[in-house]
Every structure is written in structure tokens, then in C-alpha cells.
Chain A
Amino acid sequence: MAPPPSLQVNLSPAELSFIRSSLAQTPPIRLDHAKGPKDFRSMRAECDVLPGANGSARIALEDGTEALVGVKAEVEKSQWRPVPGESARLTAAGEVTMLDVDDAADKDENTKGKGQNSWVEISVEVPGFRDDDALPVFLAAMLTETLLASGELKDRLYINNRFHWKLYVDVLLLSPLLSYPLSLLSMTTHLALLTTRLPALKSEKDEDPLFDDDWDASVQLYGKERQQIEKPPVIVLAMAVGSNIIFDPSKEELAVADAVLAVACTTSANSGGRIVSIRTVDPPSHLTPPGVPNAMNSATGGKVPTSSADALTQRELLSNSGVWTPPRGGMKRSLLSGIVKMVVEKGGVAEEVIEALQRVEIG
């Protein structure tokens, strides 16, 4: 997807060249000079901000970007669909109930594979963009994809054969688009899902669902008692400049990226970090105009090349690093594996981010 107009860079070739060369140093010098390559921009977060929602969270970055997420759950009638091996059971309704296991501990086992993708609906609203603009649609698709990837969330929305929870996740970017918002929106969604509570179920089996109206008795979607299950995935952005890998790039840093990856990762108590999905994001740097070297600029005493072929040859021969040339191609394999390793390793980015978000929820 081409970058949206507001993310397109309007930096001069000299600036781009400067930022790139500073990020390509070892260790990279980031625009916030105290930050290392794995450091995230500092942020402020709070959860349970919307009283009317099942779960909500707000995160504000230091530069002013701010996101608000509300999660709403509704009981919806499930559409009947055939399940392999169920036709025999349907012949005798009495047998179905006998097959059902009442034990709460086995409930997760029981609902496995019964969730459907349509039970989670995410809408993303970005100020200045229409609902059907490419950016919000793309962001919503990315967030939906990562939430559904492991299949755990949708299975948890299963109530019984006839009813399920439908989860509406409304993602709002409150500020104008100051940097690529995917990682921020994903973190806010994560935090909102962590705090999401659903009313406790009182009815049994395939009865019409009846809920406990005591909110204190409600159960958390990602509750403590389900420690073994995975946390909702979080997307982190990683970009490559030369041989350096930089996490959570700012807008200016993104403007000189060779390649950008959106890595969705999750952790569970027993298995550490795990990658759910990876996507490449088209960096805005591909659309920047190249700088004109002094030798080709008539205003600096150079000679303008006579033909475009000539200009192309001269550019290819450029050994001067002071001239901005937009990056071409994608990411090297070694960098890709480097990023994956940095995310999933013990104490890596995935664990750090999810632990930090967990601490916000506990308060």
C-alpha cells in the first residue's frame, strides 16, 4: 500500500541524507539521541477510561499522538453451520447434552475451533480520513488479522451452540497523523482487551443465555485464571537502515527506512515470545525525490547530464554518500531473521512490550 498523503515526507534531500547517515552509524544515532535502537518512544497510558464500554484504554505518545480504544460486547445468535461429525449427534438432541462436559476447566477445550472470524469487528477512525480510505481500512485489516491469527480470542467468544459474543473494537486516533500509527493502535487495542470484562453466564448449556447482573461478578476476557493462555497480540514496527535494525521509528526516521516490517507478537506463560504474523509496510522513503549531486547541478558549477540515460549512469556511479538516493528493493534475509530473533528471544521486544502493558493494567 502506498503511504497516505499525510505520511508522505516533505523533507529536503540534504535532510534525508543526514538522517540516514546518522541512523546508519554503529550504534545508530536516533533523532532522540538518548534512545537506543530497541527503545520505544515514551508514552502515557491508562485503562478503563470509558465507563460505558466493556473495556477501554488510552495511550498518548510524547509527540502528541493519542489513541483511544473501546471494546463493546453484544450477545448474538449464531448461525447454524455444519460441523464434521455433528450430523450424528443432531439426530438425537438428548445425546448432545450428554456429550457436553460441564466442567469449567474443560470449557476452553470444549470451545476450541468453534469461534468464527466474523465475531470480532474492528473499526479504525483516523481524523482527516474517510472510512473507506486506504489507510484506515488497511490498519483495521492488520489489527483484525493479528487478533484472529491464533484463534484463541474468537473461541473465547463462544457461549453455546446457539449464541455467541460479538466483539466490537472501536479504535480512534484522537490526534492528527504524526507518525505511522499501527503500533500505537495495536498497543491500545491490546490494553483495552486486557481490561475487557464480560458478564458472568448463569444459564447452562444450550439455554437462552442469562447473565449475572452483578458487574463485580463479571469475568475478564483475558483473566488471571486463564494464565496459560496467550495474551492478545501486539504489533511492533521495525525498520532497517543499512545493517541497523530500529524499533518504533518516528515519522522522520521512517522517511529514510530501507524497509519496514510490522511484526505481530504475543507471549504466553510457558512458551515465551511467539510471532503471530509479519507484514511489510511500504516505507514512504520509496517516494522521495533523489538529491542532485553537485556534479550534475548547474547552480553549483556542475554539468547537467544531456540525456536521461546519461543521468542514470552518473547516478549509478555515485560513490558520494552525501547525496540522497531513495532506497530500492526490500529487506535482506539476515536482517529479517535478526528482527525475528530480537522480537521473540528471552527478554526480547515482545516480552518487554507485553510486560510493560501488563503493568499498566495492574496499575
Chain B
Amino acid sequence: MPISILPPSPQEVPSHTDRYVSDSDEEMADAGDNDFTSSNSHSIVTPGETITSDPQWMRGHGTYIPPNSTTIISTLAGTLQKTNKLLSVTPLRARYAPEIGDLVVGRIVNVQAKKWMVDIGAAQLASLPLSAINLPGGILRRRTAVDELNIRTFFSEGDLLVAEVQMLHQDGGASLHTRSLKYGKLRNGLFTSLAGAGGGGAKRNGSGGVVRSRRQAFTLQTTAGEIDIVLGVNGYIFVSKHTITAGDEKDASITRLEESVSETLYSSENDVVPKDLMREIVRVGTLIRGLVLCSRSVDEEMVVRCYEVAVEMEAEENVMGDVLVGQGAKSIVENILLRIESGV
């Protein structure tokens, strides 16, 4: 079946009842004793909507009080959160807000004299100074004028890299570094973006995206070989063939980092990837995209579980002889989730 056209999916009608903070007395009493709750976590407010006109509430992020009034108005489309007497709106989709220590996947947008500008899905481009990368050459050395001239041999426009947020500037821009053997240029694989779903909001309102502060880079065992998966906190994901890095060895001390910088660190040439492994890499990429379309959060456990079920289901289909082809990523993952939930 080369083409499948479905009818439009039915829209969920949001309930318009009792979504706002009411200003009745009993509500006030109610709000008094359940502190730190997000009671109306499923009610969605839109920009310009009046949340409440009761002066007892304080305005938080995503809200606004016009001059000479006590009305609190939403400035974002998102879910309403109440923390004691503080009202805030968490946006449904937001750009990634960098935090120090985050593992991110980025793409070089432009090259400047001593730094690269990197797209990490945030409101501003992040900068990666030449001084924040491991220079090749095998010896610990200062960066020289030659390195500045050869800046494009390390990273050039379009290149993908995995890095860590080192510093945040006053204006919210981030500065990255790749001074670890785990970081650097990405190759031998496939990039997937969950743009918009990134950021800390993902876990709270369950709109999908990468979960922060779990294991972000891991290796998946498949029948065809090992696959490296990097889940950037910013929602950029890279799935690739597993490479043995010097970072795996325990003795790679911080002082000898430069020595073990391998020759292929800045290579833009792919190794030979066997066909079976290539198929598995593409499969993982599809599954991750499907997870986001089903608005699930993406973390190591979920990806591994989905992958296992997907392989299992394919094996069953092959035995039964009714191979389902031509489904989209979303319907595949829907089937998988159905099985996971019914099986447990």
C-alpha cells in the first residue's frame, strides 16, 4: 500500500468549566491548605486571556498585569500553574533555555574569527570559542595563529557536535565547550530534532521531549551491533554507530586529555557502516520521532523499551507473514506503546 490517506483526527474539545481560579470564598480556603499544587494542570490558557481579577494572587512567569488594574492576564499559550498564591503559565512549546552543565547537540551555523556560532535550539545562537575545544596534535599546547587560520578544518558550517554548556551570559546566550573526549564532532549516523519540545517544560506538562538529568548518552545493544544514542537536553538527538573512544578507558586523566585526542576527532568522513546496522540506526531514529508525535517524553528507558518491542513485533510479523509496511512513525509507536501498556 504505497499511499494511505486518513480522515482528520477528531479534535479534543477542551472543557471550559472551572478552569480558572474562582474568587469565591471557599476556593480561597481551598487554596490555603493545598500548597504547591498545580490543580488545573490540564487547563490551557491562551495569550490575552484573563486568568483572574482577584488581587490576592501574585503574577509569575508568563503572566501580565495591565497598569491601573489587578487583572492577571496570560501572555503565553500553556498550562496554568499555581504555587501558593503565585500564578504562572508554562508554555506548551518553548525554545530550549540553556543551563550550565547541560549536554547538548548543536549544529554550526557560522564561523567567526576565533569562535563558532552554534544552533542549539535556544532563543540565541550559542558560541563555541576556539579555546574551548581539544586541539589535535597529541601534545598539550596553546592555540596558535595557525589554528585560527585553520578554524574550518575543525568545524565548518553545518557540522554537528555534542558539547556541554559551560557558561551563561547576561543576555541568556550560552557558551559551550567540548573539552572532554566524550564531546566533539558527530558522524556515522543520523540526526533527529524534536524542536520546540525541548527545555525543562517537557517533563512537567507531559508534552514530550527529552527528559533532563537522566543518562543522556548511552549505548544500545542490537542484533546488528552497538548503537550510540546522544539525547541532547535541547531536543536534538543523534543516533550513530558505536565508536570506541579513548574516553572509555579509565586512565584518561584530565591532564593527559590532549594526548589521547584521536586522529579522527575532526573527521567528516564516515566509517563503513554495515547495512544491518544502518537499518537499526534508522529504526531508532524513526522510533524517537514517533515517540514525540505521540507526545511521550524521551529517555533512555523509553527508547530501549520501544526498540525491544519494535524488534519483537517485526519478528512476529515475519513469522506470521503479514508484514505491515507503509505505516508512519506515529502509528508504529502507537502500536508499540499499546503493547507495552497492555503487557505490563
Kindly list chain B residues whose C-beta atoms are within 8 Å of the C-beta of A324. Answer: 268
Q: How far is the CA of A58 from the CA of B8 in the complex (A)?
A: 9
Q: Which of the candidate stretches B24-32, B37-45, B62-70, B186-194 sits at the interface with the other chain?
A: B186-194
Digitize A22-65: 1 where CB-to-B-CB distance is under 8 Å, 0 elsewhere: 10010001111111101111111110000000000011101000
Chain B residues near A59 (CB-CB < 8 A): 5
Residues of B with Cβ closer than 8 Å to A?
Answer: 1-9, 107, 109, 136, 150, 153-154, 156-160, 185-191, 263-273, 275, 278-279, 282-283, 285-286, 293, 324-332
Provided the pairs A10-B107, A13-B158 are in contact, do residues A34 and B266 lie with their beta carbons within 8 angstroms?
no
Q: A337 contacts which chain B residues (CB < 8 A)?
A: none
Q: Which of A148-156, A261-269, A351-359 contacts B (4 or more CB under 8 A)?
A: A351-359
Chain B contacts for A40, CB-based, 8 A: 2-4
Known: A11-B191, A353-B3, A357-B5. A34 touches B326 (CB 8 A): yes
Is A209 among interface residues, defined by CB-CB distance under 8 A?
no
**B160-A43 in contact (CB<8A):** no
User: 16 A–B contact pairs at CB < 8 A?
Assistant: A10-B157, A11-B158, A14-B187, A14-B268, A17-B269, A18-B190, A29-B275, A31-B282, A38-B2, A39-B326, A42-B4, A42-B327, A43-B5, A301-B263, A356-B3, A360-B7
Q: A13-B158, A44-B8, A294-B264 are in contact. Are A247 and B2 (CB under 8 A)?
A: yes
- CB pair A36–B326 under 8 Å, yes or no, is yes
A300 sits at the interface (CB 8 A):
yes
Closest partner residue, chain B, to A247 (CB atom): B2
How far is A292 from B157 in the complex, measured between Cα atoms in Å? 13
A32 to B190, CA, bound (A): 12
B8 contacts A31, C-beta separation under 8 Å:
no
Q: Which residues of B contact A42 (CB under 8 A)?
A: 4-6, 326-328, 330-331
**Docked pose: A14 CA to B324 CA in angstroms:** 31
Residue of B nearest to A15 (CB): B191
B328, A32: Cβ atoms closer than 8 Å: yes
Determine the chain B residues whose CB is within 8 A of the CB of A359 once the complex forms. 5
Add 7 more A-B contacts to A25-B278, A297-B266 (CB < 8 A). Answer: A10-B109, A32-B329, A36-B325, A38-B2, A40-B2, A322-B271, A324-B268
CA distance A44 to B189 in the complex (A): 30
**A349 at the binding interface (Cβ < 8 Å):** yes
Most interface-central of B8, B269, B282, B329 (chain A CB within 10 A): B269
Closest residue of chain A to B135 (Cβ to Cβ) is: A299
- In chain A between 338 and 354, which residues have their CB closer than 8 angstroms to a CB of chain B? 349, 352-353
C-alpha gap A294/B185 in the complex (Å): 14
Q: How far is B186's CA from A14's CA once the two chains are assembled, in angstroms? A: 8
Q: Are B266 and A356 in contact (CB under 8 A)?
A: no
A33 contacts which of B186, B275, B286 (Cβ < 8 Å)?
Answer: B286
| A22 close to B325 (CB less than 8 A) | no
Minimal Cβ-Cβ distance residue in B for A46: B8
Nearest chain-B residue to A64 (Cβ)?
B293
A270 proximal to B (CB < 8 A): no
Q: Is A293 in contact with chain B by the CB < 8 A criterion?
A: yes
User: CA–CA, A157 to B189, complex, Å?
Assistant: 53
Say if the beta carbon of A21 comes within 8 Å of chain B: yes
Contact B159 A12 (CB under 8 A): yes
Is the Cβ of A300 less than 8 Å from the Cβ of B266? Answer: yes
**A29's contact among B109, B136, B270, B279, by CB below 8 Å, is which?**
B279
Contact across chains for A18 and B325 when beta carbons are under 8 A apart: no
Question: Which residue in chain B gives the minimum CB-CB distance to A348?
Answer: B2
Question: Of B150, B159, B270, B330, which is within 8 A of A21 by CB?
Answer: B270
Contact among B5, B269, B327 for A14, CB-based, below 8 A: B269
Q: Quick check: B269 and A320 within 8 Å, CB to CB?
A: yes
A359 and B268 CA atoms in complex are apart in Å by 47
Which residues on B sit within 8 Å (CB–CB) of A301? 136, 263
User: What CA separation (Å) do A357 and B2 show in the bound complex?
Assistant: 13
Q: Please give me the residue from chain A that is nearest to B238 by CB atom.
A: A15
Does A327 sit within 8 A of B, measured CB to CB?
no
Contact at B136–A300, with CB atoms within 8 Å? yes
A20 to chain B, nearest CB (A): 10
Chain A residues, Cβ within 8 Å of B136:
299-301
Instruction: Assess whether A113 is interfacial by the CB under 8 Å rule.
Output: no
CB <8 Å contact, B329 and A12: no
A352 proximity list for chain B (CB < 8 A): 1-3
In the bound complex, residues from chain A placing their C-beta under 8 Å from that of B286 are 31-34
A300, A320, A356: most-surrounded residue (chain B CB, <10 A): A300
- With beta carbons under 8 angstroms apart, the residue of B1, B8, B156, B273 that contacts A60 is B8
Specify which of A30, A41, A44, A292 is in contact with B7 (CB 8 Å cutoff): A44
Q: Quick check: B282 and A12 within 8 Å, CB to CB?
A: no
A32: chain B residues at CB < 8 Å are 286, 328-329
Whether the Cβ atoms of B2 and A12 lie closer than 8 Å is no
Most buried by A among B160, B185, B266, B283: B266
B270 touches A14 (CB 8 A): yes
A10 to B156, CA, bound (A): 11
Q: Which residues of A contact B158 (CB under 8 A)?
A: 9-13, 289
Known A18-B189, A18-B190, A35-B325; contact A323-B278, beta-carbon cutoff 8 A: no
Q: Is the CB of A297 within 8 A of B268?
A: yes
- Taking A12-B159, A299-B136, A356-B4 as contacts, is the C-beta distance between A35 and B282 under 8 angstroms? no
Which of A9, A14, A31 gathers most chain B CB within 10 Å? A14
A298 to chain B, nearest CB (A): 5
A242 at interface by CB-CB < 8 Å = no
3 tightest Cβ-Cβ pairs between the two chains A and B: A14-B187, A322-B270, A42-B328
What distance in Å separates the Cβ of B108 from its nearest Cβ neighbour in chain A? 8
- Picked from A21, A38, A291, the residue with its CB within 8 Å of the CB of B273 is A21
Which residues of B lie under 8 Å from residue A17 when comparing CB positions? 269-270
Residues B282 and A44 in contact, CB atoms below 8 Å apart: no
B331: chain A residues at CB < 8 Å are 42
Question: Does A276 have its Cβ within 8 Å of any Cβ on chain B?
Answer: no
